Structure 1
């Protein structure tokens, strides 16, 4: 009897914004993740309410901003209560007011839409790490225990982190010596105050559009209480400092926060990681804490996914601690300085005055402080080179390619790296494209015909950008692209023969620890509430982050192909002509199994068909991903003839060719404007192009034409690493009444080498394989999926 345990690749502890951001990043990069959260429902408390420019850029790079709607913005921030203009070169300068509950809701939906398994009511109580895996024990609300096994565990569970405690991480620093009381209060009317320093203390009041007022107050000389305050404590302190009585208000939330400052000595201990407040504790001044944690998650997510999928190059995971610990230490230093300026009494006034004069009178000082608070000044050590963008985040810029006009942040929506070829020497750009081609599954190559001045740098031929948006190579001629690709993305699968989803030759290693490797196979049973079918996706994530269009997918082989691609992690557009109900059923099945899909309608074989289809397709893709990129096209839709040669009319003949041959050609033509390098095109043809059936001459002619699409387009699309192949089914079960006649089915089965008729899933599995990176060396082929019918 197997042990009752859930196995996954990564366990994230904590379903706050940081944990959910990390879960989404892991799923976007193809890693399986279970999130354990001790709360049974999301909190209604919003400790944080500010997003800064760098975090806004990150959310934009994942296509999440539009879902936030109109967000209030103020370019005026502060440093220790001293007014500071936060304007810097960015599309999102300043402070953006978004309640933490709203961010948590947004990121939770995003992560779960991508397939993250969020388990609420699971409190971490035990943690065991071996050379091969990490095991976690969690207590459920009914007192029972659930067991989990993973390659690693990440603590995103706040300043009282159980992962940090159970994992034995050191957490040096200082305890709080001062604090601020905070409450959200309804039914009061007090003046708005922005860090108003009064004789007895500091007061802040901000009335929200919903009528609730957030008040914060510090009484000079007061020591922390050692316990959370109640509303009477807040009201009494407010009255002593301001002279105003807010005691009749209705408190919605009350807490306090102190100036404690601590940072974990290490963010990684082999299979255990810390992120967000689990890694660093700081006073939440200026809204930096939440932003710091979200940026931890984005830095770690793609690196950890590469490692658990065994594509991580040597040292990649070590760079998480190296990069983020330094950033955290710098932020904690500036917060400590702000706390002194903000909470100090009369003795700090001379320092405040000098500081205010410097910030107002020196643009260099102002820009330096604004960069520190916003996160826009972060620069990582990413390797050799002197380019001004090296190690920094890719600036927001408008980019025009041969296919469309886009933005630099939009290029990162898929969670892959980007090689951006800037306008210049065409021969050099083609050379760089060829060099990067083996990494096409991990790095998207984009050729720009023009860029806005933000990226217009002299003598820069190209930029290599990590999935988190930081530039790691600049094509100025003094450094090598292949070296940078190997350093950040590992050896290419084409150089090793190892598929991207199954392994890589260079796992990250530490001198004193073993690499992260796949766990030994153990019997696993997923306890409720995870759906039983969801576990099927554990090893079927080869298309996570990809988008697919399957024509004619409301029934038959198209339906099976759509379901199969969704199981592999793709977002699938389910095309139909008339039967909306059947298409909706396919979407429902996909979503029930944890996948993502939407419907798109168009009648093929009529004027304007491709235009109508892509209007709906692009609208659906843009809504769900923020872009119109299409990675996979399956040309499945078709009509049978069923007419003897002597009864075939010109009208019937034209209809067959319009739907079966003309539409696929122009769908491919149009799709290539949306398809990135490394895309996949799969055309469903027929065994009748090799097996005679006089009643289907016209139909077979159309499918023979489709076979030619693969042969000739393969040569044309080779330079872009786009594969195109024909899949030829044999006698495959569909909704034709003949399949309900046992005698007919038995007779048809005898034509197959396996003595059975084909099932739609038989063909769908072939389609799914051709859509993955494992089929990267197959193009222009005719794939016999007839079950041996053509053997003779």
Structure 2
């Protein structure tokens, strides 16, 4: 079996795979593209490029070869006319056959050095700690490739996604359109013509070919093992329109339904997904292709930087966080459009209301921004209004030259724009990153993004990574998005040199250490109940070090919770405190009121990715002395509250979330003084087992962690003799530390634990071994 080593294997040589291959090569990564077809496609199923995609093509210098395609300023929302013109030199729709887009991107990526291999069908994939092994059947026999990463760009029936075990939850199609390109037709053009029995669309192309699409109201999708034939399309067309088009000569025929699915995660270890492999949607208005191409541009520079060791692994997590959120919004809009477009008479009143709403400028701009991609803002937390948006099109020119920032971005490097009035400070601060970030001085009189003395850091995909005027903020943004400075280029040694082991560290040092080592949970949000002390505190601190925004819950220890938050923030993390008395009536409701408010203030969303049910109360009462009130209290806090915390969290939790319940080794190790307590913890384990089965289709894992004797602030741990006796129960001959349990929880909260759910994790230090 032939073996090939490369940095990245991209599976799928459609437009998305080819765009990604070019982006990876611009970043310096070696890339091999595997495609099961022997040659390029002859079907132009997608024919629309939207404004943001055209801007990205311009940033990569592709428009000269593309030429000037037909431009249509008007689009639609579910068949209702929608003006797509926004602030962009490419506002509207641009009609480019998929064959031409694929030809353009294929020549571009090959010219940059990407290797394209046709006739290769992937059949197995194996992940290892440092690489991925891919086996494929090639035209000359089996081929094995070893790569640092694999990206599936192989469509909605993705082999890569299936082999990687990434869930693909969503809904199957309930309606379908049949479409074809055909020669020899002489019928009138129709744009979303709604007739009594269905919807008809026809458009004559420049070459004389006519594209026809038809849907019969109430006709469900046919079970298919292959695409429909032209006779079926002609039959449905006759039923809907009364016209006979059987004389047409089909170039191709296919059907598509309103299925809507999204991968639970766009990344699983060293495997990533982009395009239709990551999301399946009805291709209304050409959004599917554009969504995929924008996935590729977001991922390419990040993956290349990680592969070459220039950036932290956390950068890849930002790909999922950013594009999954965009995909979720786009799919939601497409589902609404599908209902408006393919619904029968029952949707006419809704179409009428939508037509009235679209007339309002704010509504029009919102819908146009979503469809065109111009409205994307990565991250919605506090900060400069430019952060996360694409660089405004009216970008200033550097110095007195005529070179635009668009041209500067063609090398897929970062760009630092700073006004001349700000002096050389920003450029000097960014000097250690000169191998990956270009510094450009803008005119002092500029009215662009640097107006008012603002410095702007732009990512290789054209989105603003940071904007402001403070050097510390700039350094943090450079470190986050572009990795550690090049060796030998560390001008600010105090901020960019990790401390020696055992050396005294300042808060500034600790912030740098956190930025250098964090990443598994960057951009995610977490709730840890009972986290003002003990294991809960250690867990909150550990998740924050991994990059999560942590809600520190407490019932009565306000000062202790605020101390936890202060410590996390002094180490460069993010946290906030939230109070509620779990087990009391209304406690869970109070918790989520404070939680959602805190999340929205800091992220603009109430999305919650991780829940750690840690809060609990011990019994410590002999069974004969346990009162009904004590028993009810144990059940309320330890068992009932976690159930309703999960129930309340699920609407806020996206697919791929994590739930970790803290149980106890006492469910396996007898202690007669804790019978009632152990009963409640047994209930917690059942909660994980059965919820894991229930939430599996959404890619949400639910697990139980069972600590043993763990130092928790009880005065007994200050008695050496008692500690010695307790330590003897552990295989390691010591008592547990809160951090021992926190590290297990952090693992279960990460992507590394994606294949673990419904599990009982013994974190007792071997106490349960007997």
Aligned pairs for 1:245-324 (under 5 A) are 245-324=244-323
Residue from 145, 152, 155 that aligns with 1:155: 152
Aligned to 2:454: 461
Aligned to 1:436: 430
How far, CA to CA, are the matches of 1:275 and 1:16 in structure 2?
11
CA shift in 2, pair 1:429/1:507, >3 Å:
same
1:54 counterpart = 2:48: no
Deviations 1:499-552 (A, max 9, x none): xxxxx9988876599xxxxxxxxxxxxxxxxxxxxxxxxxxxxxxxxxxxxxxx
How far, CA to CA, are the matches of 1:119 and 1:368 in structure 2?
41
Aligned to 2:239: 240
Aligned to 1:202: 199
Q: SS of 1:287's equivalent?
A: helix
1:23 counterpart = 2:21: yes
Aligned to 2:104: 106
Aligned to 1:448: 442
Q: SS of 1:119's equivalent?
A: strand
Residue from 456, 473, 481 that aligns with 2:474: 481
Aligned pairs for 1:712-723 (under 5 A) are none
How far, CA to CA, are the matches of 1:130 and 1:507 in structure 2?
23
Q: SS of 2:387's equivalent?
A: coil
CA shift in 2, pair 1:137/1:372, >3 Å:
same
C-alpha deviation, 1:368, in angstroms: 0.6
Aligned to 2:173: 176
Q: Does structure 1 conserve the Cα–Cα contact (< 8 Å) formed by 2:432 and 2:490?
A: no
How far, CA to CA, are the matches of 1:222 and 1:235 in structure 2?
15
Is 326-335 or 221-230 further displaced after alignment? 221-230
Aligned pairs for 1:474-553 (under 5 A) are 474-477=467-470, 480-494=473-487
CA shift in 2, pair 1:178/1:301, >3 Å:
same
How far, CA to CA, are the matches of 2:382 and 2:212 in structure 1?
49
Aligned to 1:84: 82
CA shift in 2, pair 1:324/1:456, >3 Å:
closer
Residue from 184, 187, 196 that aligns with 1:187: 184
Q: Does structure 1 conserve the Cα–Cα contact (< 8 Å) formed by 2:185 and 2:245?
A: yes
RMSD: 2.1
C-alpha deviation, 1:97, in angstroms: 0.3
Q: Does structure 1 conserve the Cα–Cα contact (< 8 Å) formed by 2:267 and 2:320?
A: yes
C-alpha deviation, 1:457, in angstroms: 5.9
Q: Does structure 2 conserve the Cα–Cα contact (< 8 Å) formed by 1:74 and 1:95?
A: yes
Q: Does structure 2 conserve the Cα–Cα contact (< 8 Å) formed by 1:416 and 1:466?
A: yes
Deviations 1:640-665 (A, max 9, x none): xxxxxxxxxxxxxxxxxxxxxxxxxx
Q: SS of 2:64's equivalent?
A: helix
1:167 counterpart = 2:160: no
Is 146-155 or 469-478 further displaced after alignment? 469-478
Deviations 1:672-729 (A, max 9, x none): xxxxxxxxxxxxxxxxxxxxxxxxxxxxxxxxxxxxxxxxxxxxxxxxxxxxxxxxxx
Q: Does structure 2 conserve the Cα–Cα contact (< 8 Å) formed by 1:201 and 1:217?
A: yes
Q: Which structure is higher in RCO with an 8 Å CA cutoff and minimum separation 6? A: 1
How far, CA to CA, are the matches of 1:400 and 1:465 in structure 2?
14
CA shift in 2, pair 1:241/1:510, >3 Å:
same
CA shift in 2, pair 1:400/1:152, >3 Å:
closer
How far, CA to CA, are the matches of 1:431 and 1:313 in structure 2?
25
C-alpha deviation, 1:496, in angstroms: 6.8
How far, CA to CA, are the matches of 2:446 and 2:176 in structure 1?
46
Q: SS of 1:239's equivalent?
A: helix
How far, CA to CA, are the matches of 1:138 and 1:456 in structure 2?
48
Aligned to 1:224: 221
How many residues matched?
A: 499
How far, CA to CA, are the matches of 2:37 and 2:516 in structure 1?
35
C-alpha deviation, 1:372, in angstroms: 0.6
Q: Does structure 1 conserve the Cα–Cα contact (< 8 Å) formed by 2:14 and 2:102?
A: yes
Q: SS of 2:221's equivalent?
A: coil
Aligned pairs for 1:629-778 (under 5 A) are none
Note the residue ranges of structure 1 that are not aligned, 5 or more in a row: 499-503, 514-792
How far, CA to CA, are the matches of 1:102 and 1:312 in structure 2?
34
Q: SS of 1:195's equivalent?
A: strand
CA shift in 2, pair 1:497/1:127, >3 Å:
farther
How far, CA to CA, are the matches of 2:302 and 2:521 in structure 1?
20
Deviations 1:456-506 (A, max 9, x none): 5642422100001110111244962111101110111145789xxxxx998
Deviations 1:299-355 (A, max 9, x none): 000110011101112511110100000000000000000000000000000000010
CA shift in 2, pair 1:511/1:377, >3 Å:
closer
Q: SS of 1:316's equivalent?
A: helix
Aligned to 2:399: 402
How far, CA to CA, are the matches of 1:21 and 1:465 in structure 2?
20
C-alpha deviation, 1:395, in angstroms: 1.4
How far, CA to CA, are the matches of 1:512 and 1:480 in structure 2?
21
The TM-score, its normalising length taken from structure 2, stands at 0.63
CA shift in 2, pair 1:54/1:40, >3 Å:
same
Q: SS of 1:399's equivalent?
A: coil
